[in-house]
Copies of this chain bind each other. A is one copy, B any other.
Amino acid sequence: MLIALLPGDGIGPEVIAEAVRVLAAAGARDLVFETAEVGGAAYKASGHPLPQATLDVARRADAILFGAVGDPDCDRLERHLRPEQAILGLRKELGLFANLRPAKLFPELADASALRPEIARAIDLVIIRELTGDVYFGQPRGLRKTDKGLREGFDTMRYDESEIARIAKVGFETAMARSGRLCSVDKANVLETSQLWRDVVMEVSADYPEVELSHMYVDNAAMQLVRAPGQFDVIVTGNLFGDILSDQASMCVGSIGMLPSASLDSSAKGLYEPIHGSAPDIAGQGKANPLATILSAAMMLRYSLGQADVADRIEAAVSRALETGHRTADLGGNASTTAMCDAVIAALG
């Protein structure tokens, strides 16, 4: 099976290299890797953050393991040339509409969470974020002049019913496989887009009578994720709200350096990436936490490659490496990126 490796910018290459080491050590079967440039690195090499050659490899691949994009050198480029456009382009071009972001506290990390340990311990949720619609992609958007000659920036928030229904289904299916509870997050008291979102989620719920559906406004959800995150099991939400809530949830479990994600199309082809960014401030220093990427590789084995057994082994090894006290700087320790990965490999046994 072909895996496209897209390391990208900043700490991306470091964490991808470690994840590949773990895949080999864990005995993942039949993997062929092809590496391609993406993000600021690709722009610097070839003038575009998502070169055609990279998109081609991504299309051909059975799964994509992605590092991170983002490079301060590129901040003043025109928008379509910025590193972030690469990940947005991949999601859109490959139809990766379903972003799964599990957040679960490793019990060993209760002390690393900013939340009180008794609150943090209760966290075991997954955020299902729609990834190819919303104000991220809606047209028209841009900069124009108002009647008064003022500069005006504008974007279009939008969802049609088919986009909402297909992500809602992923939410309901995920809830069926877990506790049977689904919370849909929107801002239906203000936004028309959210009103349709809520209506369609309710329509889809008719097909899932076993799932207990609730609705929450996004402001309240942001508050509840701090107050009592244990109340959530599966959250389904739009692209923008999912972006905010999933980053927030990451700190509840100790560090954004711990959270993997899967972005799936309708036939379980997927792109797997840590939810953290390129962290240019610590790039190249061997300080990055590789666990989010290693756990992303485990998700890849489970969701796209049919190797759940190897995925289980990797996740258990991450747990054991934490148990034996290994911690990177983001978790309050001083293990290097490589040392943390070595600990995981040692724990594979």
Contact = CB atoms under 8 A, between A and B. Distances in A.
Contacts of A196: 143, 151-153
Contacts of A2: none
Interface residues of A, number: 62
B248 A190 contact: no
A282 interface: no
Contacts of A248: 219, 222-223, 225-226, 248
A247 interface: yes
A227 B251 contact: yes
Contacts of A241: 244
Nearest to A195: B153
Nearest to A145: B160
A244 B218 contact: yes
Interface string A207-251: 000000000001110111111100000000000110111111011
A220 B248 CA distance: 8
A161 to B, nearest CB: 5
11 contacts: A70-B189, A79-B192, A138-B154, A142-B192, A151-B160, A153-B193, A154-B156, A187-B243, A219-B247, A222-B248, A223-B250
Given A152-B161, A187-B240, 14 more contacts: A82-B189, A88-B190, A114-B116, A114-B119, A115-B115, A146-B160, A151-B196, A153-B193, A153-B197, A154-B156, A154-B157, A156-B157, A219-B246, A219-B248
